[in-house]
Amino acid sequence: MSSGGCTVVWFRRDLRVEDNPALAAGVRAGSVVAVFIWAPEEEGHYYPGRVSRWWLKHSLAQLDFSLRSLGTSLITKRSTDSVAALLDVVKATGATQLFFNHLYDPLSLVRDHRAKEALTAEGIAVRSFNADLLYEPWKVHDDEGRLFTTFAAFWDRCLTMPYDPESPLLPPKRITSENVGYGEVRGDVMPELEDLIFFNAAIDLDIIALVQFWCHYTVAIETSFNKENCEVFRCRPDALVLEDDSEKGSNALLARAWSPGWSNADKALTTFINGPLIEYSKNRRKADSATTSFLSPHLHFGELSVRKVYHLVRIKQVLWANEGNKAGEESVNLFLKSIGLREYSRYISFNYPHSHERPLLGHLKFFPWVVDEGYFKAWRQGRTGYPLVDAGMRELWATGWLHDRIRVVVSSFFVKVLQLPWIWGMKYFWDTLLDADLESDALGWQYISGTLPDGREFDRIDNPQFEGYKFDPIGEYVRRWLPELARLPTEWIHHPWNAPESVLEAAGIELGSNYPRPIVGIDAAKARLEEALLEMWQLEAASRAALENGTEEGLGDSESMPIAFPPDIHMDMDHEPITTNQNTVRRYEDQMVPTLTSSLLRVEEEESSLDLRNSVDSRAEVPTTINQAPTRDVFDQGAVHTVQNNANLSQNIMVGIRNAEDSTAESSSSRRERDGGVVPVWSPSTSSYSEQFGGEENGSGTSSSFLRRHPRSHELMNWTRLSQTGLLVMFPQYKDHKLRGGANAAKPDLILIGMVIYAIILRNPPFQKTNTRYLRCISTLIMYPVESYL
């Protein structure tokens, strides 16, 4: 190979252009081919969950966007074997070097080693860098060169290392790209538009992102329609199928609370450092506060460099220290500690590669876990009977997010009260958390489970009732996520099982039907835990004896069986077939899932109130009345009322979208706006909408078969034939808009809007039956962000 060959920069969990050492080195060396390989099968049990893939998808899109503005683009490949895919890329481009940044989870360590060997054997120069940590795991050890086994000592050493973490690198000014590999992956225009639709439907918070997408797509659409062919999109990251159709509806909601991508990450960091950081230590106690950094998903995907975080935060700390601001200084220490825990999780993972599947303390492997899928399910669904735990689990399910405190509460409950194997809980976190991170979560669960040298004592049980009053003193958080308890006085909110009958009645709660009784009593749990520990020590002693007698071979820690994985969990685990049994109440409970409402969507007043008759009525058709009362009563008050009205409309739309995607879905996601602008409502999810719009009750009817019959019906439309005046007839409210100056220039914009709306209609049979007024509501929803941009 000639020395002038280009460099392949292999992106993984370092999806940023700033402070990316591999990219920077590649740019320095000449021209660059940026590659991302999607090979989730390599992750085995840890196939990324729905929300995690959603994040990745958008993060990749933004990385691609940035790379494009620098002169290259991101080539994405779908593969089942990353190393083979890399070899392909190298061969196709004639690259002579491969650069990438380190990862520290066991799977990546093995894979990256393999990549290094395979490519080196082909004569490729392979170099790897540290982009994920302040200090590489092999650089931190005590004075005798031994590894640390407790966090405090580890972190102390990190903070007193003789040299500072590397300073962050600036983004490259431009990237010389190698014009090979283009055209290899060809998207067509319609899948792109689908993304746009969901993007738009969910965007109204993030104008910046909209502008980016808007420019990007407008150009693309103009070109494609002038040419009458759709090959403008090449090598788009979206060509990877990171979310399937049944997931898009739920995912659309995530975009309201989160903005993936490295430049958004950067903004989030700035916002945090200039805002909540100073109060970090004061506020960290509340479960519901919006004062955490919200940076974890950004950090997981490497959109943000920890070194940059570290340096910026330290600068603030020095500043506050000089001002004598004790609280601010303390806040920074605390925040850095959580960065330190992330650091430590990599350290542990690297040095003890089995830490994600095996307790670090040997004797714990003898603990007799309770293998009870019923408990497991109750926990996942937030039906354990302990309000704080249930509220947390429902928030997790609905939003993919949990405050750290609540993570501790629910996982500690899982391990200590239910005594389910922690690996199950970890797997569920992996599947549902937006910031799912193997190393961090393994560390967290090991800590909670007491399987670390410095973890919690194993025989300690935290009482969710007391924790409840500690983290959620007035029950605000519980009421938000468990509307069925909303009318319960604060005195009883964290222990409804003690409340007098009259109080429960007044609150509309019937324990055991409306809201469950505690699944396990704390005292019973304590007794069982003691027994289990006794058994564990006996087993351990027996095993040691057996080992000493040599009657058992190879029972060393390194060879013991890891705990088995849970039976398959699906994100949509609530999708049980609707049984036709007579027990309506039970049935209703099982299907109780969150749905979204939002106050953020702007709808013209009159329109919404009219159309809401429909949706409210349809809700009344839900086959139970038990929960109707509390839900309504809570929200049918004053100002909240209008909020809910608007919210219902959006809910209707979202559910409509979802039903079209997956008509069996009884569930739709819900979310919480960080600053509380949204009222979530728990409602029975029985397919009232598909009923209303002509589906059978089990939803397997119209909508899905419509899509089956017309899988790509939206492609049949030739958009160039839509006249501008035609569009203005459809959407007269925009006739006064000066769209990008000049009538001709306006056309692509209107076409785009038209396409979006039309595609929504085509994809959603419910809307086909609605009138034009409703249509205009929808267009208003979609146009709102466009208007702000224009």
Partner DNA sequence: GTGCAGTTCTT
Partner DNA sequence: AGAACTGCA
Which residues here bind DNA, judged by CB under 7 A? 150-152, 281, 285, 337, 341, 344, 404, 408, 443-444, 447, 452, 454-455, 457, 460
Q: Which strand ranges, in their side-by-side order, compose the sheet holding 32-38?
A: 74-78, 32-38, 7-11, 97-101, 125-129
What distance in Å separates the CA atoms of residue 414 and residue 376, rounded to the nearest whole number?
A: 8
Place of tokens 């062919």: 229
Q: Which is nearer to DNA, 300 or 487 (CB)?
A: 300
Question: First-to-last CA distance in the chain?
Answer: 51
The whole-angstrom separation of Cα 226 and Cα 223 is: 5
Q: Is 218 annotated as a binding residue?
A: no
Q: How far is CA 350 from CA 72, 310, 450, 522, in A?
A: 33, 21, 20, 37
Q: Minimum distance from CB of 737 to DNA (Å)?
A: 52
How far, in Å, CA of 522 to CA of 323, rounded?
48
Which residue, 454 or 552, is less far from DNA as judged by CB? Answer: 454
CA–centroid distance for 789 within its chain: 27
Distance CA 41, CA 47 (A): 7
Q: What's the min distance (Å) between Cβ of 280 and DNA?
A: 11
b vs e for 127-140, b when ≥16 Cβ sit within 10 Å of the residue's Cβ?
A: ebbbbbbbbebeeb
| Whole-angstrom distance, CA of residue 786 vs CA of residue 790 | 6
| 70 or 408: CB nearest DNA | 408
Q: Which is nearer to DNA, 154 or 217 (CB)?
A: 154
**Shortest approach of DNA to residue 152 CB, angstroms?**
5
104 membership: H or E segment, kind and range:
none
127 bridge partner residues: 99
| One-letter-per-residue 3-state SS of 708-762 | HHCCCHHHHCCHHHCCHHHHHHHCHHHCCCCCCCCHHHHHHHHHHHHHHHHHHHH
Give the helix/strand (H/E) hosting 14. Answer: none
Q: With the C-alpha atoms ordered 554, 555, 557, 562, is the resulting torsion angle positive or negative? A: positive
Instruction: Output the smallest distance, CB 441 to DNA, in A.
Output: 10
Are 603 and 648 in contact, with CB atoms under 8 Å apart? no
Tokens for 481, please give them. Answer: 């996520």
- Residue 144 or residue 457: which is nearer to DNA going by CB? 457
Query: Could you tell me the two tokens for 94?
Result: 């004639």
Evaluate whether 533 touches 458 at the Cβ level (below 8 Å): yes
660 is in an annotated binding site: no
61 is in an annotated binding site: no
**What's the gap between Cα 411 and its chain centre?**
18
Q: How far is the CB of 453 from DNA (least distance, A)?
A: 9
By beta-carbon proximity to DNA, the closer residue of 151 and 422 is 151
Residue 475, classed as helix, strand or coil, is coil
Q: At what angle do helices 743-763 and 638-661 cross, to 10 degrees?
A: 80
Distance CA 198, CA 399 (A): 17
Does the annotation place 293 within a ligand binding site?
Answer: yes
**Cβ distance to DNA smaller for residue 297 or 455:** 455
Q: Is 295 annotated as a binding residue?
A: yes
Minimal distance, residue 499 CB to DNA, in Å: 24
C-beta of 306: minimal distance to DNA in Å?
17
8 Å CB contact between 789 and 726: no
- Report in angstroms how near the CB of residue 472 gets to DNA at its nearest: 14
93 known ligand binder: no
Task: Please report the beta strands in 85-166, taking only residues with DSSP state E, as ranges in sequence order.
Answer: 97-101, 125-129
**Residue 240 DSSP label:** S
For residue 285, the minimal CB distance to DNA (Å) is 5
Q: Which is nearer to DNA, 471 or 693 (CB)?
A: 471
- CB 157, min distance to DNA, A: 13
- Smallest gap, in angstroms, from Cβ of residue 345 to DNA? 8
- 515 DSSP β-pair partners: 511
Nearer to DNA, 452 or 485 (CB): 452
Q: How far apart are CA 786 and CA 750, in angstroms?
A: 11
The reply to whether 199 sits in an annotated binding site is no
Q: Which is nearer to DNA, 526 or 602 (CB)?
A: 526
Distance of CA 716 to the CA centre of its chain: 34
Dist CA 209 CA 266 (whole Å): 13
Name the residue nearer to DNA (CB basis): 153 or 790: 153
Supply the minimum distance, in Å, between the C-beta of residue 554 and DNA: 31
- The tokens describing 610, both together, are 């009219």
Tell me which H or E stretch contains 788: helix 772-789
Return the SS3 of 37: strand
* Cβ proximity to DNA, 41 vs 530, nearer residue: 530
In terms of CB distance, is 168 or 359 closer to DNA?
Answer: 359
Q: At its nearest, how many Å lie between DNA and the CB of residue 589? A: 33
3-state secondary structure of 784: helix
CB of 151 to DNA, least distance (A): 3
Looking at the Cβ atoms of 129 and 469, the one nearer to DNA is 469
Q: In degrees, to the nearest 5, what angle opens at C-alpha 18 toward C-alphas 17 and 23?
A: 50
**Size (the chain), residues:** 790
Nearer to DNA, 321 or 564 (CB): 321
Is 301 annotated in a binding site? The answer is: no
Count of other CB atoms within 10 angstroms of residue 6: 22
CB of 331 to DNA, least distance (A): 11
* Burial (Cβ within 10 Å: 0-12, 13-18, ≥19) of residue 404: middle
Beta strands in 222-337 (DSSP E): none
What does R_g of the chain's alpha carbons equal in angstroms? Answer: 27
- Residue 335 annotated as lining a ligand binding site: yes
693 annotated binding-site participant: no
Binding residues: 280, 292-296, 335, 435-437
Binding residues for FAD: 280, 292-296, 335, 435-437
